[in-house]
Amino acid sequence: QSVLTQPPSVSAAPGQKVTISCSGSSSNIGNNYVSWYQQLPGTVPKLLIYENNKRPSGIPDRFSGSKSGTSATLGITGLQTGDEADYYCGTSDSSLSAGVFGGGTKLTVL
């Protein structure tokens, strides 16, 4: 059971928008920055969003992040078949003195 809770799967049609939620608590998301990662099949995770809503260079603005209270959300617009991947949220947990990840969400672009 992961400390951060994500839906196991989401799906949407090409060109549409999808959101992926990440729920935590005051010891993690509530008081720390959230990052989001994309893991394409057979590859290592890639940073999409850091510090809640910032994009590393090279990440298109189709990807966005937000945080409210103890929850965070990843948004993807203009869905492409190449976006099919597993998506993970992550942050630090002050009570555990450790990093934590969500269980991952598999995105299917129908």
Torsion (CA) 86, 36, 88, 44 in degrees, nearest 10? 60
Which of left, alpha, beta for 58 (phi over 0: left; psi -120 to 50: alpha)? left
Reduced to 3 states, what is the DSSP secondary structure of residue 30? helix
Q: Please, which residue, 14 or 31, has the CB nearer to another protein?
A: 31
Q: Please, which residue, 14 or 57, has the CB nearer to another protein?
A: 57
State the pairing for strand pair 98-101/46-49.
unpaired
Residue 2 engages another protein in binding (rule: CB under 8 A): yes
**Contacts (CB under 8 A) with another protein, residues 44-83:** 44-47, 50-51, 54, 56
The footprint of another protein (CB under 8 A) covers: 2, 32-35, 37, 39, 44-47, 50-51, 54, 56, 86, 88, 90-92, 96-104
